């Protein structure tokens, strides 16, 4: 077997760990043929379908024993076990991000055999993303299947409200096709019964409320963390954040209708209509206190920027939880329940949590970290773009700033020399009530670049109403999930002659 460092590269080893037997620190000569792999039938592979019998899977004509990787899989052990004893192709058609070189190399490290040439080829599965909606061509795509993309930085702050076509797209699974005429929202009431509400019920029986709120993915600016040490997760730039005016029924009103009282406690769990192959749906939860807060402004939204919700953003109904991480703003909402515990969903229990830089995939214990709810103060530079070339004279620097939990932005500091000296930017955006500043501030700085300047290292940092400030470096907040990056944002540009 080729050495672990050669096959995987340091980034993959550090992110996933390397538990393959026979791995050494000495590179085997590429010209030296290894012993032939044993040949198995699909029936023999199927016998290895549990941890007790070792978990085998196939991909193409190869057979792999992935038992030792179960606990290391970033998507959770349960997802690999869906394919136990069978082929990976149907599942990789759904999670197409697996078809990357480093993943294929990692898989080869677990190879234990080959399928008999007499075995018929695995039928090619249908494309579960065939009915996804069209997208704007300006979006910068991170993954096609599922679709994850962000607007280019120069368009991100062109408008205070982000046009829905350019609003960042964060999908975990294929976009469901929903008939609004037959759609029903199921709500477990305080007596354990299930209420069934149509879209018409929500629009007619509950007052419409509007709120302007920014939604940010916990992985926003992960690319800067990946540059330090690859997390092998979506390499978002600064665009996994957008702002819209949402319209819909207050979640509080619906819960009161279902018999709940503001004095009740626990968590409100949401389930979407987007499904995995085994029927598992996307889910998340928020504290009951947030859901019932009259000033929490949590919506069951059916409108976005005055129009019907687009399919990519949750048509016909989604949760909008102002001030809370995007992962809890469940789209294509199907079910609401209230209970003493958080959602049991993988995305609540085994993802979207923050860890120390010291934690690895070998030592991580997801039960020791709380699920991310409110996000820390954040800012970024949208203009000029990184590595742009400018001329001496007038320079306009633009960007956004936002903080979770309804904290307002009170100041954005901008430096043109890497943090040696600072200027205060001008803020723009809607005025919002204290504690309910759900939307970002756009900021701008007008500066003069003196003749003879060769380059600028532009830096921004924001301060919120609780005087929380951004850390200056990414390294000390790096983590295996690549979340919560709110370090000073830096853009370097070159300066040429007029």
Provide the annotated active-site residues.
73, 98, 170, 217, 352
CB 228 within 8 A of CB 264: no
CB 208 within 8 A of CB 126: no
Tally of CB atoms within 10 A around 149: 23
CB 407 within 8 A of CB 465: yes
DSSP string, 388-418: -EE-SEEEEEEEEEE-STTPPEEEEEEESBT
Find the helix or strand (DSSP H, E) in which 227 lies.
helix 222-228
- Of 230, 238, 240, 492, nearest to 386 by C-alpha is 492
Angle of CA points 16, 22, 25, to nearest 5°: 75
- Of 183, 219, 220, 172, nearest to 401 by C-alpha is 220
Tally of CB atoms within 10 A around 324: 27
Beta partners for residue 250, in sequence order: 299
Q: d(Cα 376, Cα 404) in Å, to the nearest integer?
A: 6
- Of 363, 390, 361, nearest to 455 by C-alpha is 390
Residue burial 402-423, b: 16+ Cβ < 10 Å; e: rest: bbbbbbbbbbbbbbbeeeeeee
């Amino acid at each position: 077997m080729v050495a672990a460092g050669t096959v995987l590269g340091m980034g993959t080893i550090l992110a996933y760990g390397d538990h393959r037997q026979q791995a050494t620190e000495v590179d085997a000569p590429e010209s030296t043929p290894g012993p032939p792999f044993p040949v198995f039938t699909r029936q023999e592979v199927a016998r290895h379908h549990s941890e007790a019998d070792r978990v085998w899977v196939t991909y193409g004509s190869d057979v792999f024993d992935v038992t030792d990787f179960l606990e290391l899989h970033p998507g959770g052990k349960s997802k690999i076990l869906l394919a136990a004893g069978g082929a990976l192709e149907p599942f990789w058609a759904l999670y197409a991000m697996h078809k990357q070189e480093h993943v294929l190399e990692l898989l080869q490290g677990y190879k234990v055999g080959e399928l008999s040439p007499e075995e018929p080829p695995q039928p090619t599965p249908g494309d579960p993303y065939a009915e996804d909606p069209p997208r704007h061509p300006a979006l910068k795509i991170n993954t096609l299947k599922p679709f994850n993309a962000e607007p280019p930085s120069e368009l991100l702050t062109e408008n205070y409200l982000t046009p829905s076509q350019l609003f960042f797209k964060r999908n975990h699974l294929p976009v469901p096709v929903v008939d609004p005429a037959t759609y029903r929202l199921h709500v477990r009431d305080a007596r354990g019964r299930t209420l069934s509400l149509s879209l018409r019920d929500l629009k007619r029986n509950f007052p419409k409320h509007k709120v302007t709120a920014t939604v940010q993915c916990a992985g926003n600016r992960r690319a800067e963390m990946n540059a330090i040490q690859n997390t092998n997760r979506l390499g978002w730039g600064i665009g996994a954040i957008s702002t819209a005016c949402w319209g819909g029924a207050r979640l509080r009103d619906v819960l009161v209708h279902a018999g709940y009282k503001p004095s009740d406690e626990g968590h409100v769990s949401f389930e979407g209509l987007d499904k995995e192959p085994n029927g598992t749906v996307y889910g998340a939860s928020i504290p009951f206190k947030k859901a019932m807060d009259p000033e929490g402004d949590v919506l069951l939204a059916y409108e976005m920027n005055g129009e019907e919700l687009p399919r990519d953003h949750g048509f016909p109904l989604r949760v909008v939880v102002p001030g809370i991480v995007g992962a809890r703003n469940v789209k294509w909402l199907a079910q609401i329940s209230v209970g003493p515990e958080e959602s049991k969903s993988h995305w609540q229990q085994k993802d979207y949590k923050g860890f120390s830089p010291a934690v690895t995939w070998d030592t991580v214990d997801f039960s020791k970290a709380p699920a991310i709810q409110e996000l820390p103060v954040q800012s970024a530079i949208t203009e000029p773009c990184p590595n742009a070339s400018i001329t001496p004279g007038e320079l306009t620097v633009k960007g956004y700033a936002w903080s979770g939990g309804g904290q307002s932005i009170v100041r954005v500091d901008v430096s043109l020399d890497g943090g040696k000296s600072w200027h205060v930017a001008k803020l723009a955006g809607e005025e919002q009530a204290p504690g309910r500043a759900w939307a970002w501030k756009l900021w701008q700085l007008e500066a003069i670049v003196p003749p003879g300047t060769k380059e600028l290292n532009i830096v921004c940092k924001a301060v919120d109403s609780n005087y929380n400030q951004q850390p200056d470096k990414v390294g000390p907040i790096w983590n295996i999930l690549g979340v919560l990056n709110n370090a000073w944002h830096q853009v370097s540009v070159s300066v040429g002659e007029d």
